[in-house]
Structure 1
Amino acid sequence: MSSFVGHLFPGLAFIFLGIYYAVLTSLALLRGQRLLFLPLPPRNKRPWGWLQQLPAEGVGKTVCGVSGLIGTFFIPLGSNRFAMIDWEDPAQPFLHHNSWQHMTMYSFLLLSGLVDMVSRCCLARQQVKLEQATWALSFHGVALLFVSHLQGKDALETRAHLLVVLPLVLAGLVLTIELWFPDQPVLWVLKAWMTLQFGSWFIQIGSFLYSPITGHPWRADKPGDVMFLTTFFCWHLIANALLIAAIYGLCVLWHQRHPPQQGAKGAGYQLCPTDSASEELKKTQRSGREGLP
């Protein structure tokens, strides 16, 4: 990540993920879904093969995680930052601190992607809670690593990295709350918003640190440069909120031109209601008792 390209590709990945969440949220609201992700039927009742069951989100996380791990240690080509300890030094100090922190961040992403794929392709039943908990853990872990990443940074980089922690913490908090309240559209929107914010701001950090638009480096000894960081961060918040609104508007137009067919609403695998207060269950129980001798 110690370059503009190292910030660009992870940032773009999270921007695309945020757009994906925004599209799913918009369509779920228009269709009246109770859940953002409808549960899959049991594995033995799925008509498609395992390759078709691979989740796009899980595959994307895995690919980005593996690519990030390789890039962290071996890019630029010919470099090798895999050594953790200098065994030749009597003090045996740790080496490549930033690289190992970046590796841990990408490992969280890889872990979440693998859990998504195993849950949907290998287990008898999809473990939605496990997928959600692992993704929430990833955001919390990366946020913790970014706080530690502030060591040795000047005031400018410290402010920039503190601001990137904010969407990480909020996204992790939203994902954690979703474990108990998965049917809250406000949480869906916040998740898309904070994912977009993290991605766009991460690219912005790479821009002003390694490739400033003006050609002049930002300086920590200039109060104006430090103050404008927060201003730019707020602009990103507004721009990402407008992007979500625009995506919703486009989905409304698409939904009007392609309305769901009769009976399509709520289509998909649904868990059998087991609430004793259910009217249908009461009727079934009553008719069963009447049929007994």
Structure 2
Amino acid sequence: MGQFSAVSFRGKFSKKLTAMANFKGHALPGSFFLLFGLWWSVKYSFKYLSQKLNRKCHRNRCYQHLDVIEGAAKVIFALIGMLAEQFVPDGPHMHLYSSQENSWVKLANWQHTTMYLFYGISGVVDVLSYSPLKVPLGLDRLMLSVAVFVEGFLFYYHVLHRPMLDQHIHSLLLVAIFGGAFSILLEVFLRDNVTLELFRASLTILQGTWFWQIGFVLYPPWGGPDWDEKDHGNIMFITMCFFWHYAAALLIMAINYTLTYWYVWGLAEVQQTSGVGCMMLYIMAHSTKSQLI
């Protein structure tokens, strides 16, 4: 009896560790996508509203520096993701094939590593776009579109032959992924189109929150009853929940746009007031000089 209890305890403990690892595997990319989506929602709103006020500084040098920093951040996040996938305790540790067992080693981790790799390449192209190498215009958007497409293609085969609920919840993620890939591809030809840029931001936020949702549904970090994989009601709820997530993403976009508008409008008012003040000082100084003469 004691031996059975010990075995049972070890089994539950091992299962918990696996669940936590799988949950973290979804939470990590979810956090990355959520951060980038939120950043893009503010960045492109600010850029568009600033252009409306004809502030050339923000259209040129300022945004070039931001794009370089963004590309570098993308590379850093990709490296963190690749290292995490490879060197977690139960990761492949850079072993792709086991000759002893004649089998592949942790292909799911390798697929995630490949996904991060292409996002890292996209970040490198972002940085090179503002280097003396004269990278063709639009190549940064093209590589980002390729990275998102690779992510979707990998995920399509990542969940093949899995239980119905697992397949469905990941297939909904593919809607956001391939939608984002197509939208970014359009940006190659329609450069600086704020509608496409904000649409990309909304789908990226959706990706981020949905990755977290997948983790909570399939690998609940605090335990609890498992979802019935064959219950059609669960499929219907998950589908509805997906669009709730997108509604929340659109609400976040609207809030960020409104806050950015207030900030830019307030900044413009301050600059306008400063400009009027400088003009008054100039007139007063010129008038005083004339009187002295």
TM-score, structure 2 as length reference = 0.76
Deviation at 1:249, TM superposition (A): 0.9
Deviation at 1:139, TM superposition (A): 0.6
Cα displacement string for residues 23-48 of structure 1 (whole angstroms, at most 9, x for unaligned residues): 1222123223699x94559xxxx9xx
Picking from 29, 37, 60, the partner of 1:10 is 29
Residue pair 1:29, 1:185 contacting (<8 A) in 2 also = yes
Deviation at 1:212, TM superposition (A): 6.5
Query: What CA distance in whole angstroms lies between the structure 2 residues aligned with 1:69 and 1:112?
Result: 15
Query: What CA distance in whole angstroms lies between the structure 2 residues aligned with 1:15 and 1:154?
Result: 27
The answer to whether 1:72 aligns with 2:91 is: no
Query: What CA distance in whole angstroms lies between the structure 1 residues aligned with 2:96 and 2:236?
Result: 37
Query: What CA distance in whole angstroms lies between the structure 2 residues aligned with 1:74 and 1:165?
Result: 27
User: In the alignment, which residue of structure 2 is the partner of 1:61?
Assistant: 74
Determine helix, strand or coil for the equivalent of 1:191. Answer: helix
User: What is the one-letter code of the residue matched to 1:116?
Assistant: D
What is the number of residues matched between the two proteins?
248
Query: What CA distance in whole angstroms lies between the structure 2 residues aligned with 1:54 and 1:177?
Result: 19
Quick one: structure 1 residues 123 and 2, their matched pair in 2 at CA, closer, same or farther if it must change by over 3 Å? Answer: farther
Quick one: structure 1 residues 98 and 126, their matched pair in 2 at CA, closer, same or farther if it must change by over 3 Å? Answer: same
Determine helix, strand or coil for the equivalent of 1:258. Answer: helix
Query: What CA distance in whole angstroms lies between the structure 1 residues aligned with 2:39 and 2:242?
Result: 22
Deviation at 1:85, TM superposition (A): 1.8
Cα displacement string for residues 180-214 of structure 1 (whole angstroms, at most 9, x for unaligned residues): 11143221221111111111101111111111678
Picking from 145, 149, 154, the partner of 1:145 is 154
Q: After TM superposition, what 4+ stretches of structure 1 lie above 4 angstroms from structure 2? A: 37-41
Deviation at 1:225, TM superposition (A): 1.7
> Which structure features the higher share of helix residues?
2
Determine helix, strand or coil for the equivalent of 1:27. Answer: helix
Greater Rg, structure 1 or structure 2?
Answer: 2
Please give the residue correspondences for 1:34-49 in structure 2 after superposition, counting only pairs within 5 Å: 38=59
Quick one: structure 1 residues 39 and 145, their matched pair in 2 at CA, closer, same or farther if it must change by over 3 Å? Answer: farther
Unaligned runs of 5+ in 1: 47-51, 263-293
User: In the alignment, which residue of structure 1 is the partner of 2:283?
Assistant: none
User: In the alignment, which residue of structure 2 is the partner of 1:282?
Assistant: none
Query: What CA distance in whole angstroms lies between the structure 2 residues aligned with 1:79 and 1:194?
Result: 30
Query: What CA distance in whole angstroms lies between the structure 2 residues aligned with 1:224 and 1:198?
Result: 23
Deviation at 1:97, TM superposition (A): 1.6
Quick one: structure 1 residues 3 and 214, their matched pair in 2 at CA, closer, same or farther if it must change by over 3 Å? Answer: closer
Query: What CA distance in whole angstroms lies between the structure 2 residues aligned with 1:64 and 1:245?
Result: 27
User: In the alignment, which residue of structure 1 is the partner of 2:234?
Assistant: 225
Unaligned runs of 5+ in 2: 1-19, 273-293
